[in-house]
Chains A and B, each alone.
Chain A
Amino acid sequence: MMASLWQYVLSGVVDGAIFALVAAGFVLIYQVTGLINFAQGEFAMIGAMTAAALATAGMPTLAAAGIAVLAAAVVGALCYLLAIRPARKSTGVTLIFITLGLDVALRGLALFVWGTNPLSLNAFSSGNAIALFGGALPPQAMWVLGSDVIVFAALYLFFRHTYAGTAVRAAVANPPIASTFGIPLRTFAFWSFVVAAAIGGLGGVMIAPITSATYDMGLTLGLAGFVAAVLGGLDSLPGALVGGFVLGIVEHVAGGLWSTGWEQGVGFLILVLVLVLRPQGLLGRATRRA
């Protein structure tokens, strides 16, 4: 019993690391633009599908993965330029609907390009499962956890130790005043979409060898990312990391102990509880932006 429980936790950690990447994208866009991007999960889908399709066509796995992340970034840029920017003067609800439209449009587009069949991607490194205190981690787990470390470390360094990162923080803290100091808010909004899409795409690339890639994986992944982001606090990048892992572990343990069909339900139950009891999330600030 304890052994299988530990195994659920380990599987949860792997999923959680992916959720954390998707959640990081949400937090970035939310911080910079005040917008919840419902299409975030589709960036992960684009990453996964592109990598799997290229690898199936014969490209080396790592090269396919790199191109897939770039493809996701380009899609993110296009989404901003074609859909978000033309509507930047709209009210909140309109922008919510626009990102919702992006979500279903990207899913439909993927269906046109890649069809309904799942595509598989080889693990990035071969080798045996890694034994850990009686449980086992797939070799892919190292890549997943490694990309979490790199992405979150890079974000931390950017925001804390670069001039541009400080400017973004200023823009988040007080947009009008930052603007009078010559900080280009609109450029930041653009780059928040590009970077969020790239990080989401990376998450998709990483999960593709574990679950295989399908055109409709984005919704589930995106929703898990939301839950993780809200759980950690929508305005906190460390929160996204913590939220991702908590959600991954809880889902797997609950799914393992009861039945896997309830996994998603458990995740949303957490979301609803957090929204009601602690809307600022585990690590978020208590004050909420208007």
Chain B
Amino acid sequence: MYGRTGLVLLVVVAAIVWILPSYYTGLLTLIGLYALVTIGLNLFMGYAGQVSLGQAAFFGVGAYTSATFAVKANITPWLGMVLGAIVAALVAYALSFVALRLRENLLALATLALGIVINVVFNQWDFIGGTSGLKDIPGFTIGSFTFDQRAYAILAWALVAVGIWFAGNLVRSSFGRSLIAISAGELGAQALGVHSERLKRQTFVLSAVYAGAAGAIYASQASYIDPTSFSFLLSVNFVLMSVIGGLRSLWGAVIGATVVVALGQILQNVVPVVLPSARGDFQSFFLGVILIAMLILLPRGITSRLSEARRA
């Protein structure tokens, strides 16, 4: 079901990019990339019941890896995307030995802190551009065709289709059921023979693979990255996407990413008209309020309401 719907979504995207203005095509790409990150995050948070407040860091690691290889060594972004996913996975693997020993409150704190440490590394490491970031990142090419906005949208959503198909198969396998068992109670799951530590680590690494691949495409599409692109606020945004769509839902990730990106655009255009003094990251006020309101009123996300409606 996930595979077929994903394919339909890809076809729809591939069709509408021909009529959308290029600005909106760019947004569509962004939605796809964020959805990819959120799918990974939902596996880790929604299914395995853990917390990550540092997911933007893996997105950043993917972006920086691909961009650095492309700018410094002239390596094609296609390979860069794979390398970005691998390096993000390695970083997640290394960090998992620290972070995954903790739960809830302390896990949230640790992932938040690790995310910021990685951002400090982006800022301080001059080889990858330091505070000024990397410019003129080469784009994806096929033969002599250099990707335009349309091609990026199709690439991003092709990955969403693959990503959601893979994650969909995963959550319906014994792997996914074990994750749900862990979130219901780790000790109980262990007693039933679930290798909770190993499964949590694999899921954490997988979520980093999703984020890393998405980040690599982001770097080439934006052609410019700096440390502020991968700040704590982006991690909060990923959490918001997860929560809005529903933590334990893969389609929720797509819905959440769409809602948050669309909301960001609306706020950016409407608020300055109403309140001319608004500048900077003022959207964070609305993001925070919506996050709180969602958690109080609809803690299992929009998709929970949709599936209830379908059952009724």
Query: What is the CA–CA distance of A94 and B243 in the complex, to the nearest angstrom?
Result: 9
Chain B hits for A106, CB < 8 A = 288
Q: Known: A92-B104, A262-B120. Contact between A108 and B285, CB under 8 A?
A: yes
Contact A265 B233 (CB under 8 A): no
Tell me the complex Cα distance, A223–B275, Å. Answer: 31
Q: Which of B109, B110, B279 contacts A115 (CB 8 A)?
A: B279
Which residues in window 250-305 of B have CB below 8 A to A?
275, 277-292, 295-296, 299
**Complex CA distance for A109 and B292, rounded to whole angstroms:** 14
CB distance from B186 to the nearest CB of A (A): 12
Please encode chain B, from 157 to 174, with 1 for each CB lying within 8 Å of some chain A CB and 0 for all others.
Answer: 000000000000000000
Size class of the contact patch on chain B = 35 or more
B113 touches A93 (CB 8 A): no
Interface size on A, residues (CB 8 A): 47
Nearest Cβ in chain B — how far from A108, in angstroms? 3
- Flag if A105 contacts B116 (CB, 8 Å): no
Q: Of A49-57, A124-132, A175-183, A266-274, which binds chain B?
A: A266-274
Main secondary structure of the interface of A (DSSP, over half): helix
Which of the 9-residue segments A8-16, A63-71, A82-90 touches chain B? A82-90
| CB <8 Å contact, B280 and A275 | no
The answer to the question of A58 belonging to the interface, with a C-beta cut-off of 8 Å to chain B, is no
A112 at interface by CB-CB < 8 Å: yes
A93 to B291, Cβ gap below 8 A?
no
Within the complex, the shortest CB–CB distance from B238 to chain A, in Å, comes to 11
- B102-114 CB mask vs A (1 if < 8 Å, else 0) is 1011101110111
What are the 6 A-B residue pairs with the smallest beta carbon separation, nearest first?
Answer: A108-B285, A105-B288, A101-B291, A104-B288, A108-B284, A265-B120
Chain A residues engaging chain B, CB cutoff 8 angstroms? 35-36, 38, 82-83, 86-87, 90, 92-94, 96-98, 100-109, 111-112, 115-116, 215-216, 219, 223, 226-227, 230, 259, 261-262, 264-265, 268-269, 271-272, 275-276, 279
- Cβ contacts A to B, 14 pairs, < 8 Å: A90-B295, A94-B299, A98-B295, A101-B287, A101-B288, A101-B291, A111-B281, A115-B279, A227-B113, A264-B116, A264-B120, A268-B113, A275-B98, A275-B102
Known interface pairs A87-B295, A97-B243, A105-B291; 15 further A-B residue pairs with C-beta atoms within 8 A, sorted by A's residue number: A90-B299, A92-B105, A97-B295, A100-B53, A108-B287, A111-B279, A111-B280, A111-B282, A215-B280, A259-B124, A264-B120, A265-B117, A268-B117, A275-B106, A275-B109
